Amino acid sequence: MRILLIDDNYDDRLLIAHALEQEFPEVQLQEVFRAQDLKEALLLRQFDLAITDYELRWTDGLTVVQTIKNLYPDCPVIMFTASGTQEIAVEAMKLGLDDYILKSPHHYVRLPAAVRLALEKVETQRKVAGLESRLQTLLDNLNVGIYRLSEDKVLLEANKAFLRLAGLSDITQSSEILNKLYEGTRDREIILRYENDTPIWVRLSQTITTKEGTIIIDGLIEDISLSKQREAERSKTMAELAAAKEELKRQNEEACEANRIKDQFIAIVSHELRTPLTAILGWAKILRSRKVNETKLAQALETIERNANLQNTLIEDILDISRIIQNRLRLHKQPINIVPIVQSVLLDVKLQAQAKSITLESKIGAEVGTIMGDAARLQQVISNLVNNAIKYTPQGGWVFVELEQINSSIQFTVKDTGIGIGTDFLPHVFEPFRQADNTKERTHNGLGLGLAIVRNLVEIHDGAVSVKSDGIGKGATFIVELPVYSIPSQEINISLKNSQQDEVEEVTSLSGIHILIVDDDKDTRELLAEIIEGYEAKVTTTASASEALSIVSQIQPDILLSDIAMPQEDGYSLIRKIRSQPTHIQCIPAIALTAFARDEDKRQALEAGFQQYLVKPIKPRELVTAICRLSIAQRKPTS
């Protein structure tokens, strides 16, 4: 590949050369930065493509484009400039410019693509020109049928080309084709006959003369079947192209809409995460800057905890939708009774409803069957729908919850007298990142992920969720349908018994247990130590995996509590080294406590050697229960 580069800026030439050599290692660049050099280069024509700047010390890009195109019309020219305007671009295109690119750091990567496209275009044009030339030669050499026909439709004369086109062996053979030649106007296009179900199209040109009182028709026929076929193919191609353009337009509109929704979602995420953070930081600074009474202290702590939980919920929603999109959401299914789950959710939201003077009514069927599902995820579904109903129902409204079994399905219904859903938004209710009110003045917080998560959780339980609303201000009804799971009662008892074996009574003390905490974050280490020491356990802390390995050998703790992501050496490396020790140290029970929350992170931690996996932020009771459960499991005799 040989490229003529016309640019009087040395730095720009270097950048262009670098970009081109990265894409085309064998490219040969002929650099021109003076008028004389350009004249010599154009005279020799040792290039396949030209790239020119617009502002040159001795001329301008338009003149260069015109000069090259006048000399070599088939040579592609690209203008790569930082000083052009739309008018210049239009004028250059009129002169035959193949592409126009503005100079900018991120546009240098476009230049190799433009070069490739321009050269491919030239090559395509050459191929097309060659095909057209060969086709024209072929058409010139085609035989033209010549015939003479009498008024009584007798073929008087015909050449071989005519006989071939008409499918006749000689002029004495009669045929219905002769009737077609006789009828109609002098010049026309007709289907002369069919050959293997393929029409033979011809163009007729006839003259009528009278000789000695007898009418004679002299004519020429030209086979135009190929052109007719091409015309049909062209029409088909044009129709397909039109359909493709419409499809491309639709996809582009969808992409633009998706991009708009993405930008809107990012803005909402930023807002929703910053809002609770403002309250947390604000109260924290107040508590550090001055003394407050017991009432204010309780208010501050309650606000900090509530907003921290809110942030945790937002993050969990984002992680859930990420798992769903990547098809990595895993369920822990077992036969469950959904009635206690519904009752628990109703109990949780009772105070919330009372605070808004909302009448919360429920109706639970007497006989509701068993569901094969993940109890935690089904509670997430039910809680989301009930909380939404209360959230979007105004003061003094009404929310009704019903659970019943209809044939082989369990139906959970939430009906409210809330703000309702517009008919235009109703089809998009369960789409991620979509909110009916996405303006800055919206009155309700949230990321617009909850209902998308609900739909996906219900569907992976082999169920379905639907929504009905008569419009804005007329409330909404959400209906979840889940299949009944029929199993023998003894199997349910076994499942319940197994689940009860994993339960741990409320922990009041961890006395006698020595725990080593490994975390590079000082605040986290101190918090974990404070929680665990509050339950009378002995705690040793360290900030690195290397120190932890040394401490383990010295103090031989009962349990290791380690972060995963740490500088220099991570938690995976630490647990692998401990498990490879020749002494009994290798058997120390270990818990991974990390901010990585994906299923594959948990799998990797357990495969590395941790017995349990906890995700930050962790509630104190969950942490202590996990430690207690691991300690009990460690003390159990092995058979």
**571-626: pLDDT as tens digits:** 999 999 999 988 888 889 999 998 887 778 888 999 999 999 998 888 888 888 88
Residue environment code for 472-485, b if the CB has 16+ CB neighbours within 10 A, otherwise e: eeebbebbbbbbeb
Report the pLDDT averaged over residues 85-101.
91
The answer, yes or no, to whether the previous bond of 617 is cis (omega within 30 of 0) is yes
- In the structure, what pLDDT confidence band is assigned to residue 325 with cuts at 50, 70 and 90? low
What is the maximum alpha-carbon separation in the chain? 135
Percent of the chain with pLDDT over 70: 87
Task: State the DSSP code for 312.
Answer: H
- Look at 41 and 638; give whichever has higher pLDDT: 41
Contacts of 473 (CB under 8 A, 6+ apart): 419, 420
DSSP 3-state of 628: helix
Q: What are the two backbone dihedrals, phi and then psi, of residue 79, each rounded to the nearest 5 degrees?
A: -100, 120
Measured distance CA(304)–CA(282) in Å, rounded: 9
pLDDT of residue 287: 85
Q: Which residues contact 464 (CB under 8 A, 6 or more apart)?
A: 458, 480, 481
Closest C-alpha to 165, from 190, 135, 186: 190
pLDDT of residue 639: 42
In terms of Cβ atoms closer than 10 Å to its own Cβ (0-12, 13-18, 19+), residue 567 is: exposed
User: What DSSP element (H or E) covers 363?
Assistant: strand 359-364
Within 432-583, strands assigned E span 464-468, 476-483, 514-518, 538-542, 559-562
Hunting for tokens 């400039």 — which residue is that?
A: 81
pLDDT tens-digit readout, 488-498:
545 444 444 44
- Tell me what the mean pLDDT of segment 112-119 comes to: 93
| Whole-number pLDDT of residue 283 | 83
- The Cα–Cα gap between 171 and 177 comes to 12
The answer, yes or no, to whether residue 155 has pLDDT greater than 90, is: no
Asked if pLDDT for residue 503 goes beyond 50, the answer is no
pLDDT value at residue 270: 65
Phi, psi of 388 (to 5 degrees): -60, -45
Q: What is the DSSP letter of 394?
A: P
CA distance 517 to 135: 83
Q: Note the pLDDT of residue 295.
A: 86
Q: What confidence category does residue 99 fall into, taking pLDDT thresholds of 50, 70 and 90? A: very high
In what order do the strands lie in the sheet containing 187-195?
A: 155-158, 145-150, 214-223, 198-211, 187-195
Do the beta carbons of residue 77 and residue 97 sit within 8 Å?
Answer: yes
Indicate if the pLDDT at residue 504 is higher than 50: no
Segment (H or E) for 76: none
User: Distance between CA 77 and CA 100 in Å, rounded?
Assistant: 9
pLDDT recorded at residue 30: 95
Residue found by looking up tokens 């321009």 in the block? 118
Identify the CA nearest to 461 among candidates 557, 374, 348.
374
Report the alpha-carbon distance of residue 215 to residue 186 in Å, rounded: 14
Is residue 501 predicted with pLDDT exceeding 60? no
pLDDT for the residue 273: 67
Euclidean distance between CA atoms 363 and 290, whole angstroms:
51
With 0-12 / 13-18 / 19 or more C-beta atoms within 10 angstroms meaning exposed / middle / buried, residue 501 is exposed
Q: What's the mean pLDDT in 76-99?
A: 90
- Residue whose entry in the numeric block shows the structure tokens 């290798």: 586
The average pLDDT across 53-66 equals: 94
- Which amino acid does the sequence have at 439? T
DSSP string for 489-527: HHHHHHHHHHHHHT--PPP---TT-EEEEE-S-HHHHHH
Is residue 61 predicted with pLDDT exceeding 90?
yes
More confident residue, 266 or 10: 10
Q: Express each pLDDT in 205-258 by its tens digit.
A: 888 888 778 888 888 888 888 888 888 899 999 999 999 999 999 999 888 877
406 three-class SS: strand
- What share of the chain in percent tops pLDDT 90? 38
Q: Which domains does the chain have, with CATH numbers?
A: 2-138 (3.40.50.2300), 142-223 (3.30.450.20), 233-323 (1.10.287.130), 334-501 (3.30.565.10), 514-635 (3.40.50.2300)
